[in-house]
Amino acid sequence: QVQLVESGGGLVQAGGSLRLSCAASGLAFSSSTMAWFRQAPGTERELVAASTPITMSIIRTYYTDSVKGRFTISRDSAKNTVYLQMNSLKPEDTAVYYCAAARGRLSQPDDGDMDYWGKGTLVTVSS
C-alpha cells in the first residue's frame, strides 16, 4: 500500500522560509515522478514543482513560474523522501500543499496524471 505523508507546514511571516517533507512508502521511489501541488481556498489545485528521474543520477525539475527562484524541490532516495524548500514566502503562497507521486517519468504533470496523493499540509503566510 502506497503512503505519502507530508510534514513541515505551518504559519510563517512574509519573507520567511519553510521546508516541506514527504515520506513515501510502498512505491518504487527512485523511478517515480514526485511532485508538489497546492490549493488555495476557492481555487483549483495547481502544480508547484515536479521531480522527474531521467536516470539514477539525473533528475529533471519543473517549477511553476510564480515560484521559480524561490522554491526548490529535491529528493533523497535513501530516505524515500521528497522536499520542497520554500524561501521568500509571500501571502499568495498560502495554500494546502499536497505531495503526489506518479509511476513513470512525467515532466509537467497535471493532477490527473498522479497516481498517489498525500493528505496535505497547510502553509499560511502572513503579511
For residue 31, what pLDDT band results from cuts at 50, 70 and 90?
Answer: very high
pLDDT tens digits along 97-110 = 999 999 989 988 99
**Cβ neighbours for 7, distance < 8 A, ≥ 6 positions apart:** 20, 21, 22, 23, 121
pLDDT tens digits along 66-85 = 999 999 999 999 999 999 99
